Amino acid sequence: MLADDFLGQQRERSEDPLPESYVHAFREIDADPNNELIVAEIDGDVIGTMQLTFTPSISFRGGKRCTVESVRVDEKHRGKGIGREMMLWAIDRAREKGCISMQLTTHRDRNDAHRFYESLGFSKSHVGMKLKL
Amino acid sequence: MLADDFLGQQRERSEDPLPESYVHAFREIDADPNNELIVAEIDGDVIGTMQLTFTPSISFRGGKRCTVESVRVDEKHRGKGIGREMMLWAIDRAREKGCISMQLTTHRDRNDAHRFYESLGFSKSHVGMKLKL
């Protein structure tokens, strides 16, 4: 699913067996209590995925944040509200973990994503800046 | 320092003793190997601070990211290149931890910050969206 969209095509490799770097990253996420990789399933098939990171923080009076990354729904299952359901689940999960806010960045060109997150109550208050290392 | 600027004034409490929530957050950060709270000192005085979060991730072929948050330099020491030195240190630290990219969000209204990060090579490729919980 990550390799599926117009940005992902350029940067992911979907092959069998998967490059070892993916497996290594999965193990690291799995071992970290502040990172959760979530999948949505229909009849045992994975049709959606996202990653939640819980970050303890000093600012905002010591409030914990939840960052959502890599939100994807399988092309064949888009337009059915699955992304919305996943995000509502994520918001509940973040509250359950004691987070005071949820944050995400999305590429400037993903206009549909901006509208989608705004419809969930997110506001475009920030600029997301990236540096390749 | 967090309470010092135009956005922080509204949301931080700087008093003695500090509210317990700050102490609790500090302990959580301290205990988490994927979170580092960095201070810059001159003659034993803390004059700058930032938080680095290292996030294992599946996307980008399993590449780890470094998120920088809460970058602050004491008002009395601004304009001396301390923020730049801190960020250059952070970039080195992220490379050392094996990160493939560095990311941050900064409020739309912090125009000086945008220019500062752009001068370090960051690009404003993303929109940062937030939701209060």
Kindly determine whether residue A61 and residue B35, on different chains, have CB atoms separated by under 8 Å: no
- Please determine, for residue B6, whether its predicted confidence score (pLDDT) is greater than 60: no
- If one counts every other C-beta atom within 10 angstroms of the C-beta of residue A80, the result is 12
Q: Do A120 and B133 touch (CB under 8 A)?
A: no
- Buried-state track A41-57, b at ≥16 Cβ within 10 A, e below 16: eeeeeebbbbbbbbbbb
CB contact under 8 Å between B101 and A34, yes or no, is no
* Summary mean pLDDT of chain B: 88
Q: Which residues of A94-126 are buried (b: 16+ CB within 10 A; e: fewer)?
A: beeeebbbbbbbbbeebeebbebbeeeebeeeb
Pairing of the two strands B64-73 and B99-107: parallel
Contact A91 B131 (CB under 8 A): yes
List, in order, residues 6 or more apart from A63 with CB less than 8 Å away: A57, A99, A100, A101, B21, B25
Cβ(A100)–Cβ(A63) under 8 Å? yes
Exposure of A76 in the CB half-sphere (CA atoms within 13 A) = 4
**pLDDT on residue A51:** 94
Q: What are the chain A neighbours of B124 within 8 Å (beta carbons)?
A: 108, 127-129
pLDDT (mean) for B6-10: 57
Confidence of residue A11 (pLDDT cuts 50, 70, 90): low
Residues of B in contact with A50 (CB under 8 A): none
Q: Measured between CB atoms, which of B26, B124, B129 is closest to A58?
A: B26
The string of pLDDT tens digits covering residues A38-95 is 999 999 999 999 999 999 887 767 789 999 998 999 999 999 999 999 999 999 999 9
Q: Is the pTM of this model over 0.90?
A: no
- Model confidence over A86-129: pLDDT tens digits? 999 999 999 999 999 999 999 999 999 999 999 999 999 999 99
B69-103 residue pLDDT tens: 989 999 999 999 999 999 999 999 999 999 999 99
DSSP letters along A74-98, please? -GGGTTSSHHHHHHHHHHHHHHHTT
Best CA proximity match to B82, nearest among B40, B118, B38: B40
Report the residue of A11, A72, A126 to disrupt the B interface, i.e. the one with the largest count of B CBs within 10 Å: A126
pLDDT tens for B31-55 read: 888 999 999 999 999 999 999 999 9
What ipTM was assigned to the predicted interfaces of this complex? Answer: 0.86
